[in-house]
Amino acid sequence: MIVTLHYDPIVTDDPKLASMRLRINAMAQQIDSRLSIHDLRCVPGPTHTNVIFDCVRPSDLQMSAEDLKHALAQRVESEYPKSVAKITIDEDYVGHTHE
Ligand SMILES: [Zn+2]
C-alpha cells in the first residue's frame, strides 16, 4: 500500500510565525488598543510572502474597515519588506467564533 503524504505549503506553527503574530498584534494595538489579530499564516511565493490574517474591528472604531486595512498593511509591509499583507476585517459581532 502506497501512502501519499500531502504537504500543505502554508506554515502554521513555526516559532517565527509566533513572534510575527505578537509583533503584528502590537502593531494593531498601536492603531487602537482594542484591536487584535488572529488566524495568521504565511504563504511564501517567488517574489514575496503573503501574510494573511484577520483583525477584529470594534463596531465603534473611528476608522472604516478599509482605512484600518490600509493602516495595518502599511505597518506590516514596512516591518517585513518582502511581505504583502492580506487582511480580513472581522466586524466585532456576537457569534464570530475563532480560537
Ligand atoms: Zn476571524
pLDDT of residue 97: 61
pLDDT in tens, 2-15: 666 655 556 556 78
pTM score of the predicted model: 0.79
Side-chain-side CA neighbours of residue 3 (13 Å): 2
Give the Å distance between the CA of 13 and the centre of ligand 1.
Answer: 18
Give the Å distance between the CA of 91 and the centre of ligand 1.
Answer: 9
**What are the extents of the domains in the chain?**
15-91
Question: CATH for 15-91?
Answer: 3.30.70.1350
Helix (H) or strand (E) holding 27: helix 15-31
Ion ligand 1, residues whose Cβ is below 5 A away = 54, 90, 98
| Out of 46-55, 60-69, 90-99, least confident range | 90-99
C-alpha to C-alpha distance for 27 and 23, rounded to whole angstroms: 6
